Amino acid sequence: MEIMFFELALTCYFAATIVCVMELFKGTKTTSRIMFSLVVVGFVLHSANIIARYVLSGHIPIANLHEASSFFSWCIVLLFFYLEYRYKLGLLGSFIMPVVFVLMLSSSMLPRKIEPLSPVLQSYWLGIHTVLAFIGDAAFAMAFGIGLMYLVQEHYVKSKHLGGLFKRLPSLQTLDEINYRLITIGFPFLSLAIITGALWAESAWGSYWRWDPKEVWSLITWFIYALVLHVRLTVGWRGKRAAILSIIGFSAVLFTFFGVNFLLKGLHSF
Amino acid sequence: MKTVVIGLNHKTADVDLREKLAFNGPKLEEGIRQIRELPEIKETVIISTCNRVEIYLTVKDVGKAFEAIKDFFVRFFEIRRESLDNALYLYDDMQAVRHIFRVSSSLDSMVVGEPQILGQLKDAFEFALERKTTGVLLNRLLKKSISVAKRIRTETKIAENAVSISFAAVELAKKIFDDLPEKTFMLLGAGEMAELAAKHMINSGVTNIVIANRTFETGCNLAKEFNGRAILFEDYLKELVHADILICSTGAQKYVLMKDQMQKVMKERKNRPVFIIDISVPRNIDPEINDMNNVYLYDVDDLRGVVDTNILERQKEAKKAEDIIEEEIETFKKWLSSLDSVPTVIALREKAEAIKKEEIEKLLNRLPEIGEKEKKAIEGLASSIVNKLIHAPTVALREDSEDKDIMIATIKRLYGLNGEDDDKK
């Protein structure tokens, strides 16, 4: 049952991504309505999958990489709904749905078996730490999409060729401000995730910080976003530079999330 | 009854003539009354704008009506008849319908896609409606032309994209900034173009205006006009730190803003974006400034380039609009032809009923002795014969066929429904 929900959600996201990409070439009210409905249906199925797994396993389903990746994209979609509702940015879907789809696709390719939780993970920290981390990461993913949009729009304005997506993309100021706001949301969540992680590590392994690769890369990510905020407030690195930094930051997020697991083995099982 | 358009526009008449023939103020009231009284004219609407003067009519005889309207122009505006010769155009029938559709959807305008004409047409129609100078045909046609214009506006992008330099500047500003009313707008130098651009900015909600002019007094006057603040020209760099949009046209022969100066300004404003429009020729602002982060510099040529692409865009859209118009002409034609057959059907039935009544009376006069029952039977027989005979032609008339005009004419001829023809014989 839960597998079926997952596959259907994946299909919906895939279809939505196709529509999104098509929208870049020729967008009408109908295409964006179709896209949005697909995402809504996908999200409902996706939520059903997560609930089903929770019921089956008896713990919050963020215990392996498959579940984590799936939950990560679930958070992004949730944030996407919020931004659509709050700002109604044109073409946001086209820049963020591919990210959601790729995360879901990687999730689908990872082992899905529900295994009993290892004793280390059996803690209330599991829920708190991971949820905080993924809310932060979802905000960063969104900042990445918005940053891309900014770069595209900036390119149109700078090069003075106002064709293509120029008309349909939001204004530079809007994109820059939302990008900034997303990072100011993501950053405290990331900080809290690192702190709760340290507390959890202390209770599970007896020390707060063990220089595990995941810990190290989280810290690197944290420094990148701290830098983004710092240079913005002090020397006014906004606009293009902020957009580029938010893209670099998200690459670090992805590496922390996937790269560390595949390339550098550590204590984190995901 | 035929639909006719008689008029002149910016393409056929120069502004001198257009001014002379303008129906403004009381002239419209008087003009529409006089045209209505012409015996050649049945319905009329007058539209008079600065780019066109057109009279929409329904008439019996197009040639006679054209002459009558020409006479009217000569008399009413006291002009020489020859001056009308090349200026006036005449469209009739579907050409007239097409023309009115093209006017309402602004395909016939000087700037394709401009929004004013539709409003002007609506006003002209309402004016005519109030004076009861229109009938079924023009009412339908004008309502249709308004809906066609709306359809074209929503289904094509004919009215999108700025086609004037100052509008293009405003559109760009809106893509750089989110909240124009919050932004500070600075005018460096006070040329005519700069003023125009400033007016457009103000219309888009900009309220904080700073004006720096070499002659301080001129700057002050302008500041009064725009409800802004005049500053000394020497202070412009200091003020630029707080300005978000700068329009520059000083008439200086060299750059008044160099890259290193701008770098200092940007540092002080913490890199907050700034949109600079240099509409002076020769340019007043070092073009290299555009390479800086968060600075967007457009000169006149850049804006003209934007406008040119937009015009091309609109022309592409205008083609789509023409297709829509052809489609709508077809539906209008259908309505028109359905209208034509109705009186013929009625005439046919009336004629048949008249014959029936006449013949029954004749027969009954000759047969005074028959009773009520027989009378009823005879009347019933006559009715059913008449009904059966006219049933087929009535159905044929009501059908929507291509040769309907011929059909109507034929039936009229066969049954002698044309009153005038009968008289001649």
Q: Give the mean pLDDT of A242-258.
A: 92
What tokens appear for B300 in the block? 């006149």
Chain B residues in contact with A174 by the CB 8 A cut-off are 178
Q: Pairing mode, if any, of strands B229-232 and B208-213?
A: parallel
* Residue B293 sits at the chain A interface (C-beta within 8 Å): yes
- pLDDT at B403 (0 to 100): 64
From B270's Cα to the closest Cα of chain A, the distance in A is 5
* Residue A239 sits at the chain B interface (C-beta within 8 Å): yes
- pLDDT at B424 (0 to 100): 36
Of B161, B175, B271, which is closest to A157 when you measure between CB atoms? Answer: B175
Looking at the DSSP assignment, which residues form a beta bridge with residue B39?
none
Q: Do B178 and A173 touch (CB under 8 A)?
A: yes
- pLDDT at B197 (0 to 100): 81
Question: Catalytic residue positions of B?
Answer: 50
Q: Give the mean pLDDT of A218-243.
A: 92
Collect all residues with Cβ–Cβ distance below 8 Å to A231 and sequence separation of at least 6: A237, A241, A245
Alpha-carbon distance of B380 to B327, in angstroms, equals 48
Q: Do A240 and B179 touch (CB under 8 A)?
A: no
Reported confidence tier of residue A98, pLDDT bands at 50, 70, 90:
very high
Q: For residue A89, give the DSSP letter.
A: -
Q: Give the mean pLDDT of A167-181.
A: 93
Q: Give the mean pLDDT of A221-237.
A: 92
Q: For residue A164, give the DSSP letter.
A: T
Q: Do A172 and B176 touch (CB under 8 A)?
A: yes
Alpha-carbon distance of B253 to B17, in angstroms, equals 41
Across the A:B interface, residue pairs with CB atoms under 8 Å apart total: 56
Chain A residues in contact with B272 by the CB 8 A cut-off are 236, 238
* Residue A236 sits at the chain B interface (C-beta within 8 Å): yes
Alpha-carbon distance of B14 to A267, in angstroms, equals 85
Collect all residues with Cβ–Cβ distance below 8 Å to A133 and sequence separation of at least 6: A189, A190, A193, A197
Q: Do A160 and B298 touch (CB under 8 A)?
A: yes
Q: Do A157 and B178 touch (CB under 8 A)?
A: no
* Residue B317 sits at the chain A interface (C-beta within 8 Å): no
What tokens appear for B271 in the block? 């890199």
Report the predicted TM-score, pTM, of the whole model to 2 decimal places: 0.75
- List the 173-192 stretch of A: residues with Cβ below 8 A of B: 173-174, 176-177
From B97's Cα to the closest Cα of chain A, the distance in A is 31
pLDDT in tens, B297-312: 999 889 988 888 888 8
- List the 165-184 stretch of B: residues with Cβ below 8 A of A: 172, 174-179
| Residue of B277, B324, B332 lying closest to B300 (CA atoms) | B277
Structural element, H or E, at residue A107: helix A92-109
Give the count of beta carbons closer than 10 Å to the beta carbon of residue A214.
18
Q: Pairing mode, if any, of strands B52-59 and B2-9?
A: antiparallel
Q: Is the pLDDT of residue A118 over 80?
A: no
Q: What SS3 string covers chain B? A: CEEEEEEEECCCCCHHHHHHCCCCCHHHHHHHHHHHHCCCEEEEEEEECCCEEEEEEEECCHHHHHHHHHHHHHHHHCCCHHHHCCCCEEEEHHHHHHHHHHHHCCCCCCCCCCCHHHHHHHHHHHHHHHCCCCCHHHHHHHHHHHHHHHHHHHHCCCCCCCCCHHHHHHHHHHHHCCCHHHCEEEEECCCHHHHHHHHHHHHCCCCEEEEEECCHHHHHHHHHHHCCEEEEHHHHHHHHCCCCEEEECCCCCCCCECHHHHHHHHHHCCCCCEEEEECCCCCCECHHHHHCCCEEEEEHHHHHHHHHHHHHHHHHHHHHHHHHHHHHHHHHHHHHHHHHHHHHHHHHHHHHHHHHHHHHHHHHHHCCCCCHHHHHHHHHHHHHHHHHHHHHHHHHHHCCCCCHHHHHHHHHHHCCCCHHHHHHC
Of B290, B294, B305, which is closest to A238 when you measure between CB atoms? Answer: B294
Alpha-carbon distance of B136 to B95, in angstroms, equals 19
For A110, the 3-state DSSP assignment is coil
Q: What is the ipTM of this complex?
A: 0.86
Query: Which of B160, B161, B178, B180 is the best mutation test for A, with the most CBs of A within 10 A?
Result: B178
Alpha-carbon distance of B323 to B320, in angstroms, equals 5
Q: In what order do the strands lie in the sheet with B41-48?
A: B41-48, B52-59, B2-9, B89-92
* Residue B263 sits at the chain A interface (C-beta within 8 Å): no
Smallest CA–CA distance from A163 into chain B, residue:
B309
Q: Are B122 and B45 in contact (CB under 8 A)?
A: no
Q: Is the pLDDT of residue A121 over 80?
A: no
Residue B80 φ/ψ, nearest 5 degrees: -80, 145
Reported confidence tier of residue A246, pLDDT bands at 50, 70, 90:
very high
What tokens appear for A109 in the block? 């390719």
Q: Give the mean pLDDT of A223-242.
A: 91
Of A51-65, A140-154, B100-114, B364-378, give the range with the top mean pLDDT. Answer: A140-154
In chain B, which stretches have pLDDT less than 50? 420-425
* Residue B292 sits at the chain A interface (C-beta within 8 Å): no
Of A160, A163, A236, which is closest to B272 when you measure between CB atoms? Answer: A236
What tokens appear for B12 in the block? 């056929």
* Residue with tokens 């100078």, as numbered in its chain: B133
Q: Give the mean pLDDT of A112-136.
A: 84
Chain A residues in contact with B271 by the CB 8 A cut-off are 235-239
- pLDDT at B135 (0 to 100): 83
Q: What is the mean pLDDT of chain A?
A: 89
Looking at the DSSP assignment, which residues form a beta bridge with residue B48?
B53
Alpha-carbon distance of B231 to B254, in angstroms, equals 21
Q: For residue A137, give the DSSP letter.
A: H
Chain A residues in contact with B176 by the CB 8 A cut-off are 157, 171-173
Chain A residues in contact with B270 by the CB 8 A cut-off are 235-236, 238
- pLDDT at A252 (0 to 100): 94
- pLDDT at A62 (0 to 100): 85
Reported confidence tier of residue A262, pLDDT bands at 50, 70, 90:
confident
